[in-house]
Structures are given as C-alpha cells and as structure tokens.
Amino acid sequence: MSNMGKNKLPIVNRKNIIVLFLLLVVYGVVQILQSNGILDRFYTMTLILACIYIILAVSQNLITGFTGQLAIGHAGFMAIGAYMSAFIVVKMNGPVVGGLIFGALVAAFAGVLIGIPTLRLRGDYLAIATLGLGEIVRIIFLNWDYLGGATGFQVPKSMNWTWAFWLMVLSVVVINNFINSSHGRACISIRENEIAAEAMGINTTKYKVIAFALGAMFAGLAGGIYANYMFFIQPGTFSFLKSFEILVMVVLGGLGSITGSILGAVIMTVASALLADIPELRMVIIAVLLIIIMIFRPNGILGTKEFNLSFLNPKKKGEENGIT
C-alpha cells in the first residue's frame, strides 16, 4: 500500500471502478429483462435466491474458510434473522429496513452468545455443538406459536431484485474488507496455526467470536431478505440440511476464497433451479456433480485463490488482491 500515500482517495482506483461498472451492468440487465417480462417469476426467484445464498456462503466462508472453525449452524442464524425481521414487520408494523437490521443484529448477538462457549471446541466437536444449537433454534421457532409455530408465518413480500442484489454486494464488500484488514489477517492466522497466532499476541478467542458474530450477522440478514421475499416462512426451511447446503457451496467454491463462495452459491442455486423439473433425480445429479468436482478439484473450484481483476491495476508492492 506504499503507493497509497499520495492518493487522496485510494478507494477510487481503476479496479474498483470496473468492478462497480460490472455490477451495474449485471443489475441493469436483470432489471430491464424483468420489467420487460422476459424473465418470468421463476427465473427472478432463482436470481434472488442466488443473492441470498451468496450472502450465506460468503459469511459461512468467513467462519469456516478464513477463520478455520467448522461450524454447521448457519441455518439457525438465518432462521433468527428471518423470524426477527418478520416479527418487526408483521407484529410491530415496523419498516422493512428496520426489520432487516434488527434480524441481523439479533443473529449477531446470538452468534456471540453461542460462540463464546462453543468456540473453545475444536474441529468435529465444534461441528457437532453448532449443529445441535442450529437445531435448537429451529425447535424454538417450531414451538413459538406467537410467530406461527409449525404452521408457518406469513410475511408481506417487500424484497425485490434491487434489494437482494445490493444487499448482497454490501455483504460481500464488508466481509472482503474485513478479511483484507489486519483484524481479518488475525482471523486467518487462527486457521493457519492457533498456537503461533496466540504466541504472536492475537487474542484468538476474541477473533473467533468476532468472525462468528460477523458471519452470523450476515446469515441473519440473508434470512431477513428471504422472509420478506418468500411470503411465508416455516421452521422446516431452516433445518440442518440448509446448513449443509451452505457448507457445500463454500467447499465447492473453495474454502478461503470469497469469489469461490460466490461461484459455489450461484452454481448450486442455478443447478437446483434447472433440475426443478426432475425432482426425483435432482439430488442425485447434484451429488454426482459434487463428487466429480471433489475428485478433480479437491480444494474446491478456486481453492484459496481469488478470481480478481488485479491485472487492471499493475501490481504494486504490497497491494492486496481483494476483489473490490
């Protein structure tokens, strides 16, 4: 970053402008196709679901791929965000933005609460503990009649492509910026070697909890978007199978690669949608696809690498290769 000293606004560089331009093109094309009726409701839903899954996969990757904590409770945080935002919107007649923020914050808080005791556990023990806690969250909502219980909860549809797309961009930018800061490097060092990280003065418990809470917050946001888009939420949606689905996207794209998670989320969502006509074979085909990818690319499609546009900015000493 030595070159940044002279530049007044280092965030405005060629790479970021081009990324922004590409985002606007993607957003604009979908928006136009949608308003002309070329994209029907099914495709629009697929695209919005892709945005939601990108948020979920990238935030799961922050916890598992970057910080190295195998936590499988993401659907639980998603459920908290979904129900809490619905609670604000439906029961409190609050604004939908307020609902989304409230849902994300409650999920982050739950992340801290769950993280402090469970993050002492390592590897598979942590996986089992978080899996259990995710299910506890689901069962709480299942029995909470005020929020619909087992019959489900109706939420007015207020999310659309614009909301989902730009909230997805916001989430990815925040997580990417975190990863490329000193605090993010502290999280990565935990994955690399926990004892060495601690010996270098990193409070590993603190950074694990920060990563966990940040990941939970965005899972909550994704849940909020989901609830306010889908008309209807029920606890069954947020079972541990959902957590596995998210984890599969992350592993497929590459643990430790943000662009990999985006790719993984898009591939899985699109594959599910394309195979929607043959439901009996859908899971079989997806499983075979996964096996093939894992045989040929055991570290995921992108491994820990990022697909980036750094060739647009000739490499300068010490510059990070983030995507934004």
- The residues binding another protein (CB under 8 A) are 1-2, 4-5, 10-11, 174, 177-178, 180-186, 188-189, 192-193, 195-204, 210, 304, 317-318
3-state per-residue secondary structure call for 16-53: HHHHHHHHHHHHHHHHHHHHCCCCCHHHHHHHHHHHHH
Q: Which tokens sit at 166?
A: 């730009």
Shortest distance, position 183 Cβ to another protein, whole Å = 5
184 versus 215: smaller Cβ distance to another protein = 184
Query: What residue type is assigned to position 24 of the chain?
Result: L
208 versus 242: smaller Cβ distance to another protein = 208
3-state secondary structure of 252: helix
Are the C-beta atoms of residues 233 and 80 closer than 8 Å to each other? no
Place of tokens 């945005």: 51
Residues 6+ apart with CB under 8 A from 199: none
Shortest distance, position 278 Cβ to another protein, whole Å = 40
Shortest distance, position 133 Cβ to another protein, whole Å = 25
30 versus 190: smaller Cβ distance to another protein = 190
2 versus 93: smaller Cβ distance to another protein = 2
Maximum separation of any 2 CA atoms in the chain, in Å: 60
Q: Which tokens sit at 172?
A: 């990815």
Shortest distance, position 205 Cβ to another protein, whole Å = 9
Question: Angle at Cα 270 formed by Cα 158 and Cα 260, nearest 5°?
Answer: 100
Are the C-beta atoms of residues 162 and 44 closer than 8 Å to each other? no
47 versus 168: smaller Cβ distance to another protein = 168
User: How many other CB atoms are found less than 10 A from the CB of residue 252?
Assistant: 24
142 versus 251: smaller Cβ distance to another protein = 251
Shortest distance, position 41 Cβ to another protein, whole Å = 35
40 versus 192: smaller Cβ distance to another protein = 192
Shortest distance, position 317 Cβ to another protein, whole Å = 8
Q: Which tokens sit at 78?
A: 């998603």
154 versus 177: smaller Cβ distance to another protein = 177
27 versus 178: smaller Cβ distance to another protein = 178
Which residues are 173's β-sheet partners? Answer: none
Alpha-carbon distance 264 to 300, whole Å? Answer: 9
Place of tokens 């000293």: 5
Terminal C-alpha separation, the chain? 15
Shortest distance, position 189 Cβ to another protein, whole Å = 5
Are the C-beta atoms of residues 221 and 100 closer than 8 Å to each other? yes
Query: What residue type is assigned to position 194 of the chain?
Result: E
Shortest distance, position 321 Cβ to another protein, whole Å = 10
How many helices (H) and strands (E) the chain has is answered by 12, 2
Strand boundaries in 189-274, DSSP class E:
232-233
Shortest distance, position 1 Cβ to another protein, whole Å = 4
